[in-house]
Amino acid sequence: MHVQVLGPVRVWQDGEELDLGPPGRRALLGVLALARGRALRRTALVDALWGDTPPPSATNIIQTHVKHLRRVLDPERHAYARSQRIPTVGDGYALRISPDQSDVDRFYRQVQAAEQERQAGRSDQTAAMLGEALGLWHGQPLADLPALVGHPTVLTLFEARRDAVLAYAEALLTTGRASEALPVVIEETATHPLDEALAAMLVRMYTASGQRDKGFAVYDLTRKLLAAELGVAPGPDLAEAHAMLVRETASTAPFASKRHLPAELPAKVSEVVDRARQQDERLAGQVVPARHRSGRRTNALARYEQLKQHLGIDPGPPLWQAHHHVLTAEPAVATPVGTERAPVPRQLPAPPRPFTGRVAELAELTAAMRAQAEPGGTVVISAIGGTGGIGKTWLALHWAHQHIDRFPDGQLFVNLRGFDPTGDPLTTQTAVRGFLAALSVEPSAIPAELDAQVGLYRSLLAGKRMLVVLDNARDTAQLAPLLPGSPSCAVLVTSRSRLSGLVTAHDAHPLTMDVLSESAARQLLQARLGAQRPAAEPGAMAELIACCGGFPLALSIVASQARAHPQFPLAALAAELRDASTRLGALDDTDQAVGVPAVLSWSYRALTPEGARTFGLIGLAPGPDIDLPATACLTGLPIDAARRVLRALDQVSLVHQHVPGRWRMHDLVRLYAADQARQDQPHADREAALRRVVAFYLHTADAADQLLDPHRQPIRLDPPPPGCLPYPLSDASAALAWFDTEHACLLAAHRAAISNGWHQTVWQLTCTLFTFHHRRGHRHDLLAVCRTGAVAAEHLPDPDIHVRAHQRLGRAYADLWRLEEAIDHLRRSLAIACQYHDHTNQAHAHHALARVWEQQGDNRLALEQATHALNLFRSLDDPVWHAATLNMVGWLSAQLGEYEQARRHCQAALTLQRHHQDPDGEAITLDSLGYIDHHTGRHRQAICHYQQALTLRRAIGHTYEVAKNLDAMGRPYTALGQPDQARAVLREALEWYRQLGRGEDAARVQQQLDDHFRDLTPS
């Protein structure tokens, strides 16, 4: 299939042209083809086909067109099958064809390939590829569908063709083959008679091919058209081409006074101009498009009246906007031919160099600016937010310089000093007067009142393609009067404030900047330092990047310091940054405008006292982020007040709500916040805040742990301090979700308690985290917490705590198969329990030792320990642990081949566990029964028991044991000759083992799967 839209809409299939039906249907296909695979909503299709006057049944008409097009393009499709050619996508449709099947796609691909050849300096290949691209055109896009002449995508195609023609001619000029491009340049120039770039290229080509008289003729014709239609003289490109022509002529023989145009050019130009004057308002509107003005103001009011008279009707939007443009521009800077024209404002500071990364952000800005081209659009405003030093101004300036050709009428820039070392924001009146001066308004002509100044400013920008960059804004009130009113303008705003008022009232597009990625940070340092030093010290380079945390300002300071001392190794600078307590000082600078602490201080000074206090305390809070209840406890504020302060800090980008309800700081901002807290808040206040938030985590974790394991040994907690309200949890699922969310903060709270010597709190947090760590398989975290918990327990007088600390540490070592250390701590636990006649903890120690001896492979000794535990728990009247030990005895009996005795113990355990509602114990016992059933040939019953265990473990979130359950189920499925089911459970077990980091188990199951696949391969 081949689809043509670069000309009349036509489709061929296997060499035969298809009948597409009436114009409306072909128009729909053309619009879909121009979208190049993108889905278009029905509303967009209605707008493309009918504009502002769609019929009431427009949507039904489109559906009918789509139905018929599907029949033509996909004749083999069943009536109810999904169309592969024009599928429904959401609330719209797309045309799905390969790029080779579309002349539009082939054109763009050829142009892109030609650009790569041009950049490589291969002019011959560039010309060849562009020649092929231009050869795909058979007239105007959708030439047989006049209703789509003004469609934005068609206009974009015209622009792309014009650029391709210029590039094609340039490539042929470079290779000395100018005459080959003359026909296509003549045709393009005739289509766009006011395009000075095309006219300049044509003059250059005539100069290069020795046809100088024709070059002078083209220059004269264009000069007259510019004067007649626009009231301006030729711009720099055309003037330079003419000067070159004069120099070439002067250096050779005198030229004839009579200058001859190519025969086809005057006729085509006359045809275009006549059509502009009498028929086509879009071409008439060429009197104002920016590429024809080259940044000049025009005076075409008389021409407008003539065109209006010729049309005989009120002009449409393109021509009306052209008139409005010249009408509003004339009083300040309109310039007649032959006089000095006012300078075009070019206020952008130099682009940042080097600039790396930010690809997604640049693309987002570009996408937002495309809205300018939409009919009826409003002024496009993009608000770039983020903390100080994150690179907001760099991004805005880089994008502005990248797209400077979009704004030929000028670019305005002002630093509003919203967050500034002086502390005084720029007044709106000062900013607007600066803009008026840049627009060549004499000081005496500037009104005294702000409203009048703003009105004049907006009048001067009306209809112009200008970019306004409002940097470092304080708030919406400061910058709102500086927003243009014309949709032809675009605005970039940068601010540490989120400017929610700008988004709400002016539909600004918000873009919040985050830190650079690791690769972009590396590119930035390499660009500043060169390739040699980073390559020589990769370890130091990695440490520098990690210490800066992707913060652009910090990376720039590091690079500057390294460049200032080229003789010093990067490792020396990395060592200076390694200590978090001195890192901010290392990132300070003698220039107070660029040091990290100084830049952050501008935001800090703008905070209210409560905001500054909260900011500092969050810097001291444990964990990578914090939620609202924890913030309320940290600050001692009511929930509503804490929410308001968090929102205020978020508004000025000192904290960031990275997921709903959770706020975090960049590491360097956190260091700065903690420094400010230590400077501005008394030690007692800081300690009280930290105790409150740690107590919040401890008391909530204790409540959550009781929900996960109601039968655990209790721990005694002191009441929470005033101002600390633990988070209420409804059930075990909510408790597990809270643990998952707060895990990093809980570990940080544990470390904070260690650092402050709060031994009781360290031990209590160790207890509350045990069940969660065990169920989720966080084995290394479990060991780390239990080790510090055992150290803290040594500082506490209660022997019960010593017993339980060694017991938990022994179990943690056992989970990681560090069995000698496990046995050592469990024996210590047992010895202390015996010393104090603590039968409960003796029973627990025997139970844990039984598990370790089983791991050691000594099932007889393990059974002895389990029997001791069983007798003790039976005498203690503890039915839950009695049941758990019954199962242990049953499991170990099964390991020794005593299956009937094992089954009796396990069934007795299951009865107790169900009676006392112990789902964790019940799952363990069901797993044991599954093992016993499988090894006694009752494979179906084994699967039933394993499935019940699996259901319970999924319900309670015991992910570590879920993998083991699935692994075990593979064996009875295999024994029953059900390989598909066996493979399914083993594959799921493999995924769980990999997620849990259980490499040996994963390798073993992978081997099982490989063996199954080999066994099941047909011979």
Q: Which has the closest alpha carbon to 231: 338, 344, 342, 340?
A: 338
**Mean pLDDT to the nearest integer, 348-376:** 78
Q: How far apart are CA 972 and CA 978, in angstroms?
A: 9
Q: How far apart are CA 781 and CA 788, in angstroms?
A: 11
Q: Which residue has the higher pLDDT, 602 or 398?
A: 398
Domains along the chain with CATH numbers: 1-176 (1.10.10.10), 180-342 (no CATH), 359-512 (3.40.50.300), 518-596 (no CATH), 607-681 (1.10.10.10), 878-1019 (1.25.40.10)
Q: For 316, list phi and psi in degrees, rounded to 5.
A: -85, -175
Q: For 626, list phi and psi in degrees, rounded to 5.
A: -155, 145
Q: What is the pLDDT of residues 677-692, one digit of tens each?
A: 999 999 999 999 999 9
Q: Which has the closest alpha carbon to 30: 42, 45, 41, 50?
A: 45
869 pLDDT more than 50: yes
Quick check: bond before 660 cis, omega within 30? Answer: no
Long-range contacts of 541-546 (CB under 8 A, 24+ apart): 541/570, 543/574, 543/577, 543/578, 544/570, 544/573, 544/574, 544/577, 545/518, 545/521
Beta bridge partners of 414: 470
What is the chain's alpha carbon radius of gyration, rounded to the nearest angstrom?
A: 39
Q: 483 by DSSP, 3-state: which? A: coil
Q: How far apart are CA 1019 and CA 1014, in angstroms?
A: 10
What does the pLDDT read at residue 295?
A: 38
For the record, the structure tokens of 42 come out as 């029905």
What does the pLDDT read at residue 24?
A: 85
**Chain-centroid distance, C-alpha 165:** 37
Q: Which has the closest alpha carbon to 376: 45, 152, 159?
A: 152
What does the pLDDT read at residue 422?
A: 59
For the record, the structure tokens of 783 come out as 């060991």
Q: How far apart are CA 672 and CA 598, in angstroms?
A: 10
Q: Which residue has the higher pLDDT, 867 or 1014?
A: 867
- What interhelical angle do 859-875 and 839-856 show, nearest 10? 160
Q: What is the pLDDT of residues 873-911, one digit of tens each?
A: 999 988 999 999 999 999 999 999 999 999 999 999 999
Q: What is the pLDDT of residues 504-546, one digit of tens each?
A: 888 888 998 888 888 888 988 888 888 888 888 899 899 988 8
Q: 56 by DSSP, 3-state: which? A: coil
253 pLDDT more than 70: no
947 pLDDT more than 90: yes
290 pLDDT more than 60: no
Q: How far apart are CA 138 and CA 304, in angstroms?
A: 33
| DSSP-based helix, strand, coil % in the chain, nearest 5 | 65, 5, 30
Structural contact between residues 899 and 935, judged by C-beta atoms closer than 8 angstroms:
yes
**Mean pLDDT to the nearest integer, 130-140:** 87
Q: Which amino acid is at 187?
A: E
Place of tokens 């970039």: 492
Q: Which residue has the higher pLDDT, 699 or 1018?
A: 699
Q: For 23, list phi and psi in degrees, rounded to 5.
A: -55, -40
Q: What is the pLDDT of residues 535-588, one digit of tens each?
A: 888 998 999 888 888 888 888 888 888 887 888 888 888 888 887 777 877 787
DSSP state of 782: H
What does the pLDDT read at residue 400?
A: 93
Q: Which residue has the higher pLDDT, 192 or 784?
A: 784
Helices H / strands E in the chain, number of each: 47, 14
Q: 296 by DSSP, 3-state: which? A: coil
The whole-chain average pLDDT of the chain stands at 84
Place of tokens 């993108």: 38
DSSP state of 679: H
DSSP 922-981: HHHHHHHHHHHHHHTT-HHHHHHHHHHHHHHHHHHT-HHHHHHHHHHHHHHHHHTT-HHH
Judge residue 247's burial from the number of C-beta atoms within 10 Å of its C-beta, 0-12 exposed, 13-18 middle, 19 or more buried. Answer: exposed
**Residues 6+ away with beta carbon under 8 Å from 563:** 528, 529
Least confident of 273-287, 445-459, 731-745: 273-287
**Chain-centroid distance, C-alpha 1:** 38
Structural contact between residues 493 and 468, judged by C-beta atoms closer than 8 angstroms:
no
Q: Which residue has the higher pLDDT, 178 or 738?
A: 738
